[in-house]
Amino acid sequence: MAQLMQQQGGGAGAPKSAEEMQAAEEQREAAEEQRRAMLVNLMQPAARDRLARISLVKPDKARAIEDMLIMAARRGQIQEKVSEPRLIELLEQVSEQTEKKTKVTIQRRRGALDDDWLASFCLPRVCARPDNNKTPAMSMSMLGTRDRASDSWPAAAAVAAVAAAARQSSWDYSSLLAPQRFAGIAFDDLPGFTRSVYERNYALVSPESFVFAGNPGWTNATTAHIISPAVGANFAMLLADMKAHSRGERPPESHERFIFVLDGVVEVVAGSERVTLHADDFAYIPAHLKHTVTSSNGAGLLLFERRYALKGTSPRFVHGGTQAQPVLPVPGEVFQLRKLLPQTADYDFNVHVMDFLPGEYLNVKEVHYNQHGLLLLQGKGIYRLGNDWYPVQAGDAIWMAPYVPQWYAALGTSESRYILYKDTTVDPLHA
Ligand code: UGY
Ligand code: MN
């Protein structure tokens, strides 16, 4: 032990006592253990095995990849376990970067973590999308936490492991003053923090509050009901996370259903029609029409459902692509408006898709008897609901009850798009 103390106690400062050295060793082991636990939660088993094999021959490279994954997790940029194919991509990127760096003689100094690397984990709601091309880029991975039974890693373990990793690399306060702080702060990393609010006549539900759970009408899929008649709405707004080989059955006969594809591909069979829908496509299935929604490889859906409220009318099965719908004139407003359902008296609601350039805002500070369910598909801005003003970003969902004052201004650097349920042809004298 004396020899060990001599070896390790060299350098500045008083030699460490045996107890101190033991405590330091125990701390190091605990930190390593927590790091291992975190990595287990960040990678799928096949990815872990591959990295373990790499570490046998290239321990430094494996360690660097682990550091990057931990840092990405720390920034809230990993929401799904890293798969083996994803890990292979990352390994290739590292090899390319190492190659580039060895070819260049003068190189700007970078930390252990390369920002390009982090960018590859970036979710649209965390990072700006300068390459915005009007294509909605929503995916289920940005729609927040799954239910407890799912495969997402426990936040407490992650936080503990991140803390351990930080401790291990000594006191590193550099990020407090680093330029990245201007890129946006991941508030949802703060314990207990959420932007979700529920008020008498509106709700803002941000993705960290979405709770996905099994639903008897769905096989191999989970759904999150964000709005339902339980809050006084005349409709339900839900997200469906469809895994491979999943299926959704029709809702009760009296319910009509609107499907908007956020991610992946689904097949809808409704009566004698069969259509394949991709991201940004939609379908409306009238009440009483038997149908199924299936996905072979998985998909993310937004659904609006309601009890059909009209009599003596006959809405038909409708489907299409959002971009193929004409932009409609909106006198006095600047946003681009598309309506996804026919504007006839057969439909008791419509679904609007509204695009705003940064800096554009609603001219009318609306107050009306129609109800809304909204999902912000892209961009960010400020939503006024009642007397409150909320910063909002892609992935956020909003419920607006009749007569709630509402207003939106698009901010940031990329275009904003939201999809909006709006009840129509409802007699305002009929509560
Ligand atoms: O049509 C509407 O009521 C829509 N302009 N409302 C909204 O964007 N909040
Ligand atoms: Mn409105």
Distance 287 CA to ligand 1 centre (A): 25
Pick among 3.40.50.2000, 3.30.360.10, 1.10.8.140, 3.40.718.10: CATH of 19-101:
1.10.8.140
Ligand nearest to the CA of 338: 1
DSSP structure class, residue 142: G
Question: First and final CA of the chain: distance in angstroms?
Answer: 83
d(CA 321, CA 260): 9
Nearest CA to ligand 1 atom 2: 422
Q: Would the CB of 406 count as within 6 Å of ligand 1?
A: yes
Q: Give CATH 1.10.8.140 domain extents, the chain.
A: 19-101
Ligand nearest to the CA of 330: 1
The single-letter code of the amino acid at 151 is D
Instruction: Please identify, by atom number, the ligand 1 atom nearest to the C-alpha of residue 400.
Output: 9
Q: Would the CB of 422 count as within 6 Å of ligand 1?
A: yes
Q: Rounded to the nearest 5°, which phi and psi values hold at 398?
A: -135, 140
The single-letter code of the amino acid at 295 is S
Pairing mode, strands 349-356 and 336-339: antiparallel
- Polymer length of the chain: 431
pLDDT tens series, the chain, 431 aa: 333 333 333 333 344 677 777 877 777 777 777 788 778 888 887 788 778 777 766 777 778 788 778 777 776 677 778 888 888 777 777 666 655 443 433 233 333 333 343 333 333 322 333 333 333 334 444 344 333 333 333 344 544 555 555 555 567 776 667 666 566 666 667 888 999 999 999 999 999 899 999 999 999 999 999 999 999 999 999 999 999 999 999 999 999 999 999 999 999 999 999 999 999 999 999 999 999 999 999 999 999 999 999 999 999 999 999 999 999 999 999 999 999 999 999 999 999 999 999 999 999 999 999 999 999 999 999 999 999 999 999 999 999 999 999 999 999 999 999 999 999 976 777 65
Pick among 3.90.79.10, 2.60.120.10, 3.90.850.10, 3.90.1560.10: CATH of 187-430:
2.60.120.10
Q: Give CATH 2.60.120.10 domain extents, the chain.
A: 187-430
Q: Would the CB of 416 count as within 6 Å of ligand 1?
A: no
Q: Would the CB of 152 count as within 6 Å of ligand 1?
A: no
Q: Does the reported pTM lie above 0.95? A: no
DSSP notation for 166-230 = HHHT----GGGSSGGGGG---GGGSTT----EE-SSEEEE-GGG---EE-TTEEEEEEEEEE-GG
Burial of 314 (0-12, 13-18, 19+ CB in 10 A): exposed
Q: Could you tell me the strand order of the sheet in which 388-393 lies? A: 388-393, 380-385, 406-411
